[in-house]
A and B are shown apart, each in its own frame.
Chain A
């Protein structure tokens, strides 16, 4: 373990490039030839109607896809030029470099807030010089420090839904990821919590590259620099219809279907 692995948020953001990614579930093709670059220190939003493969694509980016029984994939995903599927990196190492926040807040219920933040480091047996400082830094980055600093020893489940989600973000940030994947992180939250998390995304984007799946067009517009529009026709696998700078996708897209979708005419 090199020293730069030990303390978080110091390794810096990294770019992700997916090339010709295809995915199958039990022999059924669900994602076909998806290629997308997610440049360093940017926020990329994946948009599109339900069932078009956005979440599958996101889970391919940190090797969570292979945990589903019967799941297969083709293509490559490169983290700053290193193919995460090439075999040099272990899946567990990959996931420490590329963290993930889920749709439903899922703090570990048997752990305190403090232990939740340090969970990832504990799991990987990474020594931490100053635990308290790391907890404070991670919680501050996730915008939870002021609310949680007096209740660090309470169970994670004692927080409200929005706070739990920010705890999950803090937990993901504590291991020092270079990319953070977010799968509809606000869909279970109220507008205030959503605003708070969007603020967090804006603040961490310098340190980690963010890829976010969202069904909320306004949110995609607010938080992202680039945007990729996924679509799956009936009985066909999902594909990227169009990807580019967010303002272009929302104001002047090339494809008529993108125009229709971002303006709420279908989906």
Chain B
């Protein structure tokens, strides 16, 4: 055990006294009692008042966001000062950094929770069964029962097909590219990596215009869901490639060596050892790519184009997609359709959520179930076998090691 040097502080009632603490109580700076809550609340309150006076009374500033930022900044300053005066500087620094970290994390969680909550609140109540079965072909603004006669089934089919095809092309290409970058290497690696990185900065509308100009404008094809898939493929390829490459990079080199030393070819090593080891990360990478594709709107204008009727054939004719239909709904002056837009947004969000849950389930190691079963079994058998077996084994081992040592 090392003893800490006393912190450079003038008033140190806690560290200065050699009072022993109760066993089990965490030592400062982790200890957080009633007095600490008091300091926290007092700092929050007094910084609020201080900033209120300065912000709204002494200066001509206005606006809630600016106030919040100033309040937070002065709170941190005040909190550090007060804590360093009452306790000590180490504790104060620890508290301030903890506050910063907690604020950051809560901000992220809060924003996501807010978006999901808002869309669910506004959208879930408007979801009806016919939304999943009907398209927009029977839409007439004058009909009072219009919401029972229309739906977004055509957009759901379109999005699933477009994104599905895009993923079916992009994921294998991305995995092969990542294997080239990380496992094969050699000349060209840097070029490919640069191109992939540059590709990830490609504005999504450019991908749509590109497909439009080489296939539609040249009359090689009409608008079709498949064209949207091509544009989405261009968009998600770099992300999936880079993420997969990162995942392959963290597969320990020792596993490759072990496989090669068993007489496996380099192809078998990648196929049977590297890829299965990276499996869960690769599934996450693919799902992230798919999640990007599901939400893309801009490239669909020039490729899938949009269609009020159900078109299940992705190879022929204009097709609807969830983001497109959402945009259509939001832009109409019809109040009923705006509600439908929220419902559509909710469906879109649910689709992404289902994908993520799927990723988690698929990404689990295949034998995990077996591990749990075995653990359960060993738990139930422990009382019978292990206690008898273990000492015997240990005895045997020590006996052999003694034998080995003796000459």
Contact = CB atoms under 8 A, between A and B. Distances in A.
Interface of A: 62, 64, 67, 92-96, 99-100, 102, 104, 106, 108-112, 119-120, 122-124, 146-147, 150-151, 153-155, 158, 168, 171-172, 175, 191-192, 195-196, 198-199, 222
B258 A106 contact: yes
A107 B259 CA distance: 10
A113 B255 CA distance: 15
B263 interface: yes
Nearest to A120: B262
Interface of B: 252, 254-255, 257-265, 268-269, 272-273, 276-277, 279, 365-368, 370-371, 374, 377-378, 393-394, 397-398, 400-401, 404-405
B273 A95 contact: no
* For the complex of A and B, 4 pairs with smallest distance between CB atoms: A96-B263, A123-B264, A120-B262, A195-B401
B365 A172 contact: no
25 contacts: A92-B265, A93-B263, A95-B263, A99-B261, A109-B277, A110-B273, A110-B277, A110-B279, A110-B366, A111-B276, A122-B272, A123-B262, A123-B265, A124-B262, A124-B268, A146-B393, A150-B377, A154-B367, A155-B367, A155-B371, A191-B401, A192-B394, A195-B397, A195-B404, A199-B404
A92 B264 contact: yes
Given A99-B262, A106-B254, A123-B265, 10 more contacts: A62-B261, A67-B257, A95-B262, A96-B262, A106-B257, A123-B259, A154-B371, A155-B365, A172-B261, A192-B398
Contact of B365 (A95, A110, A122, A168): A110
A109 B254 CA distance: 11
Contacts of B277: 108-110
A125 B322 CA distance: 47
A171 B367 CA distance: 19
A102 B272 contact: no
Nearest to A158: B371
Given A119-B272, A153-B374, A154-B367, A199 B400 contact: yes
B294 to A, nearest CB: 29
A95 B261 contact: yes
Contacts of B252: 106
A64 B258 contact: no
